[in-house]
Amino acid sequence: MRLRFLAGVLAGMIGCLVLWPGAGQATTPPLAPLAEIVFENGGRIVSIKADGSGRKVLTRKGTDLLRRNYLADIHYFGDSQPAISPDGEKLAFVRYRPAAHSQQVMLADRDGWGATAVKGINAEIQSLDFMPDGRLLLTTWDYRYGYSRTTETFRILALDPATGKKKVLVSKRFFGNYNDDTLQAQEVSPDGKSLLYTRDFGENDDGYDVVQLRIRNLVSGAERVLVTGAEAGSFSPDGERVAFTKMCVDTEGYAHCAHSGDGRTGVWTIGVDGSDRQLIVTGDGGYSSPDWGPGGGYIIFASSRNFPEERQDANEIYSVRSDGECLTWLTNGSPESVMPAWAPETEVRTDPGAKCGAAGRKPLAEARPPRAIDTDPRPRYWAGPIVANRLLSKVDGYAQDEFGSPIYRYGDCPFFDSSDCRRPITIEIAFACGGLGEVRVPPRGREQVIRRRGVRVTRHWTARGKFVTTTLRTGLVDIGIGQSMLDVEDIGGRASTFSDHLAFIDNLRPVGKSLDPGSKLPPAAMVKCQGRR
């Protein structure tokens, strides 16, 4: 009987343990959801979580990535400058329409669907954000050419997207043809009382760009300079501090280039009264678009710090704790990622998770050549999305005639540490009668001919003995591999090697076809070029 009684008591205790969770389980609160980040990538708006997971393409899902038009260096093609409304319901962004050579502010559902144009904007859009009260914060640029006088007008506007009602917050008109002076809105403070914006005065007599980050009181109209030499800024959630990205500066505080690597570029924070300036992240490369996240714990920004040798097309999205710890990249791949912005929710986690730094993030190489064009008179080649630890970052120079040259820029690196990255490589595919126009071929110097994949491959050195270019002809095309003519000065970083160039040759394949490893390329064809030798 005693054994039965003890067994019953023990069973009851086990039943209680099964029915009631342990003390640790009962008191552990569930984790808050991860915050959302939106950014521009290859003319699309993309969303990720604060740890880089959950990647979703929100707009222009079927776009040809990296396809360029002749205004690509002036406008962000496709969709750019995303911002999520304070109530979390809407996504705003700027859409560039190449056919009309114009821009529109688009307002869509949070997931990117149902985008419609916001009316009442008849000027070029330089910047876009939401204000705390739900109005859009815009910078517009209007250029008017006249025989007697040319004018440029910059306006920072508050626009109600529902009614179209506009209020001009700051306006500057400049006379002359393309003045250096510019204005650009950055952000409105959380209490809605202060505007953060940049004023670029252009070059001074010493050749330095004088750029000021300014705070304007929206009630009184009074304003003051917060930082000289800052490109962009963002208020902390409590409105007490500002995160900003700083360009290269000289000893007098004037802004200079963004890529000199003087150790003073990077992400900084400062009190709104101008006190307690702190360097958060520094290093070579460009830094842009800082955005201080909910809760104040983390700041996101775009940077080419992992591949500073490339002047463009190599940016990734990074996050860093507001005290400068746990620098982490949230994207790794091509096309480049720029213009990040946090979603407005506050009860969220903004940390990148357990891993800082590279976080084991593998490259996502989405860049591909444009679709084939029927009028092209010759085969089109490329070397794939990832070659010799370089990512295809830009496709340019294409023309629908016998002299057009598709140009592929491999100007992105899949490594977090810039010391692991080598210099960019450009490939040019030219019709045999047209000749190479962008890849540098030394007019004098030494050459060496070998055979690779069944064709003659020529290795070129300069007169001073520096290896720079590899060329070959296959079928009706000449192919150049090396440094672009647009790289007018020597780019830093680890030099490219002949082995790198051979890797590109080994990966050549016709556009639209898969690589056949070890296959031979078509032999050079005899071409008669009218009016050419």
pLDDT in tens, 244-280: 998 654 434 444 443 333 336 899 999 999 999 999 9
Whole-number pLDDT of residue 349? 95
Confidence class for position 456, pLDDT limits 50, 70, 90 = very high
For 296-308, letters b (16+ CB in 10 Å) and e give ebbbbbbbbbbbb
Whole-number pLDDT of residue 104? 92
In tens, the pLDDT along 24-49 reads 455 667 889 999 999 999 889 999 99
Query: Higher-confidence residue: 450 or 493?
Result: 450
Query: Higher-confidence residue: 523 or 258?
Result: 523
* pLDDT at residue 363 tops 50: yes
In angstroms, rounded to a whole number, what is the distance separating the alpha carbons of residues 297 and 282? 18
In angstroms, rounded to a whole number, what is the distance separating the alpha carbons of residues 454 and 456? 7
In tens, the pLDDT along 395-438 reads 876 554 555 678 899 999 999 999 899 889 999 998 887 788 88
Whole-number pLDDT of residue 324? 96
Range name among 2-6, 110-114, 166-170, 179-183 with the lowest pLDDT average? 2-6
Most confident of the ranges 171-180, 215-224, 242-251, 375-384: 215-224
Could you give the strand order of the β-sheet that contains 116-117, starting from the edge strand earlier in sequence? Answer: 78-84, 90-97, 102-109, 116-117
Whole-number pLDDT of residue 15? 44
Chain centroid to CA 23: how far?
48
330 near 51, Cβ under 8 Å?
Answer: yes
Encoded tokens for 28: 């552990």
In angstroms, rounded to a whole number, what is the distance separating the alpha carbons of residues 494 and 491? 9
**Mean residue pLDDT across the chain:** 84
* pLDDT at residue 2 tops 50: no
In angstroms, rounded to a whole number, what is the distance separating the alpha carbons of residues 312 and 369? 18
Encoded tokens for 85: 């409304």
Indicate the DSSP class of residue 299.
E
Whole-number pLDDT of residue 10? 42
Whole-number pLDDT of residue 453? 97
Could you give the strand order of the β-sheet that contains 337-342, starting from the edge strand earlier in sequence? Answer: 56-57, 44-49, 36-41, 337-342
Compute, in degrees rounded to 10, the torsion defined by CA atoms 16, 20, 24, 27. -150
Chain centroid to CA 374: how far?
32
Tokens 């038009």 map to which residue? 69
Whole-number pLDDT of residue 376? 57
pTM of the model: 0.87
Confidence class for position 217, pLDDT limits 50, 70, 90 = very high
Exposed, middle or buried by CB within 10 Å (0-12, 13-18, 19+), for 311? middle
Three-state DSSP at 157 gives strand
Going along the chain from its start, the domains and CATH numbers come out as: 36-364 (2.120.10.30), 367-510 (no CATH)
C-alpha distances (whole Å) from 69 to each of 72, 73, 76, 141, 399 are 5, 9, 11, 21, 10
Range name among 30-34, 61-65, 369-373, 498-502 with the lowest pLDDT average? 369-373
In tens, the pLDDT along 333-362 reads 999 999 999 999 999 999 998 889 999 999
Confidence class for position 367, pLDDT limits 50, 70, 90 = confident
Average pLDDT over residues 441-452: 94
Please name which of 187, 252, 194 lies closest in space to residue 222, comparing C-alpha atoms: 194
Spatial CB neighbours of 224, under 8 Å, sequence gap ≥ 6: 214, 215
In angstroms, rounded to a whole number, what is the distance separating the alpha carbons of residues 107 and 468? 48
Confidence class for position 5, pLDDT limits 50, 70, 90 = very low
C-alpha distances (whole Å) from 240 to each of 104, 274, 297, 496 are 33, 10, 14, 47
Encoded tokens for 250: 């000289």
Spatial CB neighbours of 4, under 8 Å, sequence gap ≥ 6: none
Average pLDDT over residues 9-36: 59
Query: Higher-confidence residue: 300 or 254?
Result: 300
* pLDDT at residue 481 tops 80: yes
Peptide bond preceding 237: is omega within 30 degrees of 0, i.e. cis? no
C-alpha distances (whole Å) from 400 to each of 373, 374, 380, 405, 517 are 7, 9, 12, 9, 30
Q: How many CB atoms lie within 10 A of CB 223?
A: 16
In angstroms, rounded to a whole number, what is the distance separating the alpha carbons of residues 514 and 7? 71
- Percent of the chain whose predicted confidence (pLDDT) is above 70: 81
Q: Which residues pair with 242 in a beta bridge?
A: 235, 270
Confidence class for position 283, pLDDT limits 50, 70, 90 = confident
Q: How many CB atoms lie within 10 A of CB 190?
A: 16
